[in-house]
Amino acid sequence: RYKRLKGELEVIAGQIESAKNDQTKAQQLKSYYASEKQLREAAIEAKKEEIAQTREALAAKELEIADKREVIYENDQLFQQRLRAIYKLNNSSTLAEVLTVNSFGELLEVLHNLQRIAVNDTDLLDLLNAQRAELEQQQEEINGLLGQLEVDYGELEQQVSALSANIAAQDAAISAAEADKAAKEQAYDATSAEA
C-alpha cells in the first residue's frame, strides 16, 4: 500500500508541475497579448491623429476648391459674355471690319487680332476644363485617403477587441491552472499524510 501511495505521490507531483507549467504559459501568453494590445492601441491613437489631420486637409482643400470654383465661375461668365459678344457682332460685322481696312498691313493685323481672340477663347475653355478636372481629382484622392484611414482604424479596433478576448481567455486559463494546481497540492498533501 505504501508503494502504491508513493507512486500516486509521484504522479500527483507531475500533475502539479504540469499545472504550474500551464499557469506559466498562460501568464506568458497574457503578457504577450497585453503588449500587442498596447501596440495596437498606440496605433489607433496615431491613426486617429492621422484621420484628424486628413479631415483638416480635406476641409482646407474644400475651401480651396470653393475658391477655385468661384474663379472658374467668373472665368466661365467672362467666356459666356465673349461668346454673346461674338454672336452679336456676327460674321457680317467681322466682314465689314475686314472690308474697311485701308492697307494689306491693316488687314493682316485685323485677321491676326481675330485669330488671337479665338485662340484666347479656346485656351480659356481648356483652362476651365482642366481646373474642373483637377479639383475633382484632388477631392477624390482626399476622400479615398480618408476612406482608407477609416478602414485601417476599424481593422485596428477589431484587432484590439480580439486581443482583449485573448487576454480574457488567458486569465481564465490562469485561474483554471491555479485551481487545478491547488486541487493537486491538496491531493498530494492528503496522499502524503496517508503514506
For 33-86, the pLDDT digits (tens) are 999 999 989 998 998 898 888 889 888 888 888 888 888 788 778 777 776 766
Q: At what angle do helices 104-194 and 2-99 cross, to 10 degrees?
A: 170
The radius of gyration of the chain's CA atoms, rounded to the nearest angstrom, is: 41
Cα(111)–Cα(109) distance, integer angstroms = 5
Q: What is the model's pLDDT at position 117?
A: 66
Length of the chain: 195
More confident call, 97 vs 126: 126
Percent of the chain at pLDDT > 70 equals 80
With a cut of 80, say whether residue 10 has pLDDT above it: yes
Query: Rounded mean pLDDT of the chain?
Result: 83
Is residue 132 within 8 Å of 72, Cβ to Cβ?
yes
The stretch 122-137 carries a mean pLDDT of 80
Kindly report whether the global pTM for this prediction surpasses the value 0.85.
no
Three cell numbers written together for 144: 479615398
Could you tell me the pLDDT band of residue 31, with boundaries at 50, 70 and 90?
very high
